[in-house]
Each structure stands twice: as C-alpha cells, then as structure tokens.
Structure 1
Amino acid sequence: MSLRPSSSPSAMPSFEPTLTPYPSPSPTLSSNPTISLRPSSSSSPTSIEQRLEKERKEREKEREALTAFFKATGGENWYVNTGWTDEGWDHCLWFGIQCNTKGIVTSLRFDGLVGVIPSDIGKLSKLESLYLKNYKIDGTIPSEVGMLSELKYLRISESNVHGTIPSEIGKLSQLEEFYLSYNSIYGTLPTEVGNLSMLQSLVLNNNKIEGTVPSEVGMLSQLQDLWLDDNNIEGTVPSEVGMLSQLQNLWLDRNNMNGTMPTEVGMLSQLRNLVLYSNNMNGTIPSEIAMMSQVQRLDLNNNTFDGTIPSEMGILRKIETLSLGNNNIHSAIPSEIGVMSQLNYLSLGDNNINGTIPTEVGMLIRLGQLHLQSNLITGRIPTEIGVLSQLEHIFLYINNITGTIPTEVGNLSM
C-alpha cells in the first residue's frame, strides 16, 4: 500500500487542444447598403473596425509569441508539430494550443520538449493554463510569467527548471494551481506568494528550495494542498499555517526544519495529511493535534520529539496511519489508542516508550502493521493481539517483554 500520492498530488482539468472557430477578420458588407440619418442604437462601423483591429493585433502578438516558443524549444524536432510549420494555418489549430471563441490563446499543453521558456510567453495575455511536463529546460522561469494576469493553472513539473521562483509570480491574482515539483529550483520561496488569494494548490516538492516557510503563506485562505517536501527548507513551521482553514494536505517532510510544532495546527479542521518526517523538529507533540478531526495520516517519524503521546489523540477516529517512530518519546502507550478504529499502520518504534502494551490494542481490528521495536516496553504480549485478523507485520524486538508468546498469535493468518 502506498502512503504517498503520485508526483501529481491533485487532479488538474483537461486541457486537450480543441479546434475553435473565431471571428472573420473583417465585417461582411451588405450588397444593398442603405443610408439613415437617425443614429443607430448598435455599434458604429468605426467602433466595430476598432474592435476587430484590436483583436487582429492581439492575435498577431500571440502568433509572434508562439513562434518564439516554437524556436526556443526546438519545434522542428517535436514528435508532433502539426500546423506550426505551415504559415497558412491559423495558430488556434496548431498542436498543443487551445483558444476561446474569439480566437485568443487560452492554453498551452506540451510534454517532453527541449529548450528554454522564452520571455515572449508574457505576450499571451489571455493565457489561463500553462502545462509543461518532462520538459528538458535549460533555463529559468522568466519573470514575464507575471504578465499572465488571466493564468489559473501553472504546471511545470519534471522539467529540470533551475534558478529561483520569480517574485512576479505574486501578480498572478487568478492563479489556482502552482506546480513546480521535481525540478532544480533553488533560493527561497518569495513572500509574494501570499498575494495569490485564489491559490488552491502550491506544489513545490523535490527541488532545492532553501530558507524558511514565509509567514505570508497564512494569507492563502483558499489553499488546500501545500507540498514543500524534499527540499532544503529550514526554520520552524510558522504559526500562521493555522489560518489555512481549507488545508487538506501539509507535506514538509525531508527538509531541515527545526523547532517545535505550533499549537495552531489544531485549527486545521479539514486536514487529511500532516507529514513532517525526517526533519529536526523537537519539543512535545501538542495535545491540540487531536482537534484535527479529519486527519488520516499523521507522520512525525525521524525527528527529535520528546515527552508523551497525548492521550487526547484517541479521538482521531478517521486516522489510518500514525507514525511517531525514531523520536525521543518517553511515555507509556495510552490506552485511548484503542479507539482509533480506522488505524491500519501504527509505528512507535525506536523511542523510549515504557510500560506495557495496552490490551486495547486488540480493538484495532483494521491494523495491518504494528511497530514497537527498540523501546523499553515491559510486561507480556497481550492475548488480545490474536484478534487482529488483518495484522501482517508485528515488530517487538529489543524491549524488556517477558513471558511466553500467547497461543492466540496463531490466529494471525495474514
């Protein structure tokens, strides 16, 4: 069973190229014109001509930008470049392009290109989605991206992009999804991201981002997904994270974060996944964590948390994965853990846990893995272990357990 989603954490609307009609470049004139001395309530010929001229210039500017994109990405070598090399084709019919009903480009979607992202991309003023994947980019994200005021979806993943995230990103007031995962982005996360009031997904995992998580992240009131895992981020989890009332996924694992966990995380009532493993975080696990009533995965493994396992965590009725291994926890296992009826993975190994294994563990009927190795646990193995019909792995080595192995263990057919 995989506990992590794929490298694309959330689904994105389809942006398959479509063939869309657009207006004729000039109005059709009647063969029998009439003359009227009364003012017309409709647009005058001059205003129509002005509008059409404006649209024509806009389309010319777009065509120039697309031509620059074609040249910068080695378009002649694309596997499919239908229409791009034929001057007679309207660019709305080119492969990878989608236009609106006015013939204005709204989407670029490509996979596996080679080259750079040209600064001319900023000329596509009505662009709503930019999707580049498996793109061998030899360059950075141009600051001109900040000119795309209509952009809603920006995904450039698995593309070897390097350099920093331009602060101009903060100008994209309509942006809902921002993906830069699996690249070589370095530098800090600009504070300007706090201006992205419509942002729902911020996915920057598997890069080389450093510095701290800016407190301005707390201004992203619509944010549902925050993925910053596998970077070089330092500092603490900002307390402002607690303001993200819509947040469902918080992944900060495999960084260099330190300090204590803010009690404000308890305000994340919609959170499904809190994943902080492999950092340098310390202090006690706050009891407020029990307020995250929707949480399904809580992974604090491989840090230096100490203190006790809060008994209040027993009210986390939807939790499926609880991983607190490889810390400095020095308390007994609370009996309240038996109330976690959905739990299928419990990892408390490599701590200083003492006391006995509570008989309430036998209430965890969905439990598939139980890791209690390398602790200071005493007493006997409870016979109630034998009722865990889904249990596949149990690790109890390096403890002070006494007595015999209960015969009920023979019931564990999995």
Structure 2
Amino acid sequence: MDKDQKVWYSMKYTRKGAWINTKDLELLQLLYTNRILTLKQIKRYGRYIFNSPESTIKSKLKRWLSNNIVSIDYLRTLGKPAVSCYKIGKNGFHILRNEKIIEDEELVEVNIKNIKQPSHYFGIQDVVIDTLIEMKDKLSTVSSTHPNYRTYLSYGTKLNKEETIIIPDWKIETAEGRILNIEFDTGSQNLTRIHAKVDNYMELAKVRPAENHFVLFVVADNRSEIYTTEYASTRETRVLNIKELIINKLAHRLENLHFYVCSAYRASSIASNILKGIYPIKQSHKESEIELAILSVQLNDDIDYTMEPRDASVYYSNDVSEEFYADSHYSVIDHLSNKKMDFIFKIAEEGSVVTLDKLSYLETLISTNRIKQEVEKMNVLYLSTAAMQNDVIPKDFQNTSFSQTQLWHYKNIQTPKRTNEVVRVLE
C-alpha cells in the first residue's frame, strides 16, 4: 500500500467494512507483534503516529472492534478496576496477510487469563512502545520482535543449540545490525536466575562473535498502573545489585557484549541511545565532549581557570591497563584562590556496567594513593543532565564529582542516585 493510499476492506457476510491506510497498518502490525496491549499503551503509540488526540484513537478501536479487526479482553487484578486490553482480530489478521505485512498462516492469539505475570508482560510492552516512539525520528528500519515470533525458530522446528542459548523477553534490531535484548526484572526472581541469564548471554556472544549484542536489564518501578504488585518509585538497590553481579562475572569484558541496567522509567531513553548508536560513546564523541567541558570554563564568569592537558603516563603506573585510563587529564590553576590542582575526566553512559566498573577502578586508585600524581577530583561527565541525575552508583565514591559536560565547574548540581544498601554478589 502506498503511503497516502487507503483501502476499503469489506467484511465477509456483512455490510460492514473499514478504510485502512498505512498508519492503520502500522498500528495493527504493532498489535499483532506485541500480541496484546492495554488501551493506554495503544493510545500512546497511536497518538504519536496519527498525531491525533486519544479520543480519536479510542473511536477508531471501537469501529475496528465492531468489524472484528481487533478484539478486546479485560485484565482484572485484585483491588483494581479492570483494564481494557486489545489484540488483533481475525479480520485484522487477514488484512495484514493481504497487505503482505505478515506471512503467518494462522492467527496466534494470547489469552489474557494465560498470562501468569501481568506485571512482567505489560511492563515489557511499556518499554518497547516507548522505545519505538523515541526511535521514530531516526531514518532506520527497526525490527521489534516478540520472543516467540521469529526471534528464534518455532518450537515445532528442530532447534540448533546456538539458536536456543537464550530467548530474551524482547528483541529490537536495527537495519545496521545493532541487536538489543531486553530483560524485564520485576524483582520476583532471585539473583541466581539473573546469574544464569548473564551466563547464557556470555555463551551467545562467544558462539556469535560477529554480532554485537546489547543487553538492557530493566527493573520494574511504579510507572505503570497495570502492575499487579506494588513497586517503589525507585529501585536503586536492585539496579546496583545487577550491575555488580555482571561486573563480578566479568561478562562486560567481552568485546561484543554490552550490558546496561536501569529502572523502567529510564529504559526507553537508554534503549534508544543504544539503537541509535549513541551508546557506547565513540572515542571521537568523547573528545568532543571534553572539548565542550573545557570550553564551558571560559564561558563561566564566576571562575578564572587556566587548564593545561597532561599526558596519561603522569598518573598511572605500568600495572594499570590503558582501558581503565580516564578520558583526559588536566592541570588546573585557579587564579582566584591561587591554587593548582589536577583533574581527570571520564565520559559516562547512563546505566552502563562498563562505566560503573571503570569508575570504581579509578576511584579505588585515587582513594588508595595508587595514582602517581595527586588528583583533586575525578570529574564524571554525562551527555545530559537527566542521564546524570538518574544513573545509579555506590555511595562510597568520595573522590568523584558528577555533572553534565557543560556544567562540571558549577556548584549545587543534583548528582546520580547513590545507594550503599548493596549486597555485593560473590562467586
């Protein structure tokens, strides 16, 4: 179907029918791929693609419902009003087949009564939909795949071992071959299960060395009204526990495997940064951010700094691997206090396990006097204020300050969420 074209689909044995255009098809395909969505989730995505108010989307669903293009079910949880949920109907399935959007011979339906963990199931959908919306401004084909829908071979097919190492909760892939595996954590699983998942991703990375795999662990918070369990608004301890678990297993050291962990309300932002290629931050991008950080000093009338770059060899002994070096090193003269200081700078990625590991290492070097040249502070710089304020790091970082690239020399900036309620996971 052409972009501006619309087609009348009449329904068999009735006088009913519906006009269907390309945006309708996009919404129907989302509903088919994601199997079952709440009314609120559909309205959120529909409002974006149709640029229409939610009432218009709701009216469209009502017309489709009368034509069996979609069907409705209700999620009932103890003590909460029933939530309207929609799935593709038989006529919607035939429309998608007729437009050659899907090739499936039979409609695969999900009965809402068979969803054992609604918090988990619909939490994933929230992350996926918000990520797809954030990816709309990127001129790239994005494949969002239900784990049992062409992510791997069907259960009726003889499976190769490498194709069943792990089935993620969701998988999103770009045309450039960037693969994001999403794991949604409600906290009901103990860390032993997380251990097993990380082991499987390590095996997957080794079996498929040509592929770059990104894994985003998303920890449920209180952002969704459909959770059947009450969650806190912030889940820093769980986020940090999972990060530490991955670090202790050295899983993040594999070159083609990248781990990120965050609370649900930040998931779509981090996921889109991964899919757009912003994360991991390239060396050229880091250099540009450092230049911005230094330039911003000249624009701050409240300080009078002279900054001179220093070579990394001044700071590190031979037993320190270059991969753990800071991104830049400077001697700074504060002319107002007539004081000379040394600062090191590290560009950080929100949610990144690698970032936490390297920051922890550098913090240890400074705090234990294992750095050759005394350092006043390690300045950790994020690409945005939101990323800085929502990252989760331990409370024992005493020699580190956190900021956004252009604000590092200002006072009273809200820093990342720190927690010391962390149980380090031991092998």
Q: Same fold (TM over 0.5)?
A: no
User: Considering only CA atoms, is the larger Rg found in Structure 1 or Structure 2?
Assistant: 1
Higher relative helix content: 2
TM-score (norm 1): 0.31
Could you say which structure has the greater relative contact order, defined with CA pairs below 8 angstroms and 6 or more residues apart?
A: 2
